[in-house]
Structure 1
């Protein structure tokens, strides 16, 4: 589903409010409730929104949404996060970058960096950064997932363990209130765990929709992360966990 500007605004309002009535949405968007209901119905079919008793909210699901839909979600936030990351990556750095639409945004923000050495299990990241003549790109072996061009499997893990990089840049699907990081695919999680292990610093890139979202497979804990890049201040409970783990939080404005 390609969102029009009104639908993008609607999704952003729901993301900020959590759950909101159709009538309130209509007032905020200056449209009729009927228009809101039509938009919500379309976006519910695309699994971008869900209707609950009393209003509209984000879907609460243990299944990940499609890659093309994830590309559209919070694209502005991902671009802001990516710009903050790129501003802090020194020239000449070695990086490991994993699967995800936010890490792909980071790759686009790095296309003018000089002297980078990037190892990735994300063919989209490799394609983006191969346009940078000042960047060496190394692609892992393994099984390519057609839906998002991510590479997973035991061969991927073995390949990654050959390297020790300055910074691993990872995305995630879920950050729970106790600091647990989760994702949906156990094969992807195992690769991400290897990426974390093979870095001197670990940078997590996650928009605020990931706070409190549900996912199946435990990947890591915030105590294994050095810097969290996000687009909004984390909730109080999560902030306490971040402080206890001495994680630096960068909020992209």
Structure 2
């Protein structure tokens, strides 16, 4: 498919933010809603986007979006979520942090915490926190996934099983409407399940756009979490379920100036 300039810009915006809206695009490019819908339809027909109500999102399915694209998506939301999560983590505690660009944002917000013990299978998290001299970092063994610095596999799970940290901070590739956390890689999912099952408290950090994505492998349910940190309120039905499960939800909104 030969993209026109507008379609290329739409695709760039979708890669940067994860989602594009018909109304916003029509205003941005000064064209009709029908023109934007046609553009999104063509991009979806050629496998570049997935259509959703009111717009489109980056294509999901059986493989994840590339790490660099994920890192750039919803950066302001991730930063706000990370600040809210870090505010709940005291000094002098132990934490286990798994893979993901949002968990890496949390690591950046922990750089000034004191006397932390951090266990991780995420090389990026270890590299972020190495500057914090009061932080003891323990990195899991396992097979290195070069695409995102993740360590996965049986060796990783065996290493992690030795610990009982105060907090687990986990991310997810997608969220189902019933509250299930979803991912693409079975090896990564096994590690995430182990992490969530060990900690005294388990925190999920995720932006709300994950509800518009799908992935084939179930990690755990929100019912098994202590706290969920999101950038916008969850849908009403899912909010009700979290109340039933006694899963706390903290909304870390992003202001117009990009601050939380």
Give the TM-score band, short-chain normalised. 0.7 to 0.9
Equivalent position of 1:240 in the other structure: 240
| Aligned pairs for 1:62-211 within 5 A | 62-211=62-211
CA distance in 2, matches of 1:182, 1:142: 22
CA separation of 1:212 and 1:245: change in aligned 2, threshold 3 A: farther
CA distance in 2, matches of 1:127, 1:199: 23
CA distance in 2, matches of 1:104, 1:12: 17
CA separation of 1:13 and 1:120: change in aligned 2, threshold 3 A: closer
- The answer to whether the 8 A contact 2:122-2:150 is kept is yes
Could you tell me how far 1:94 is from its partner in structure 2?
0.3
- The answer to whether the 8 A contact 1:203-1:228 is kept is yes
Question: Residues 26-75 of structure 1: CA distance to partner in whole angstroms, max 9, x if unpaired?
Answer: 44325457x979x979x97xx873468x9741134232111111001111
Question: Residues 136-189 of structure 1: CA distance to partner in whole angstroms, max 9, x if unpaired?
Answer: 100001110000010001111110111110000000112211111111000000
**Which TM-score applies when normalising by structure 2?**
0.83
- The answer to whether the 8 A contact 2:167-2:200 is kept is yes
CA distance in 1, matches of 2:100, 2:148: 8
Over aligned residues, Cα RMSD in angstroms? 3.2
Partner of 1:165, secondary structure, is coil
CA distance in 2, matches of 1:112, 1:4: 38
**Which TM-score applies when normalising by structure 1?**
0.85
Could you tell me how far 1:91 is from its partner in structure 2?
0.5
- The answer to whether the 8 A contact 1:10-1:25 is kept is no
CA distance in 2, matches of 1:7, 1:31: 18
Gapped regions of structure 1 (runs ≥ 5): none
CA distance in 2, matches of 1:220, 1:201: 14
- The answer to whether the 8 A contact 1:222-1:247 is kept is yes
Could you tell me how far 1:240 is from its partner in structure 2?
1.7
- The answer to whether the 8 A contact 1:25-1:36 is kept is no
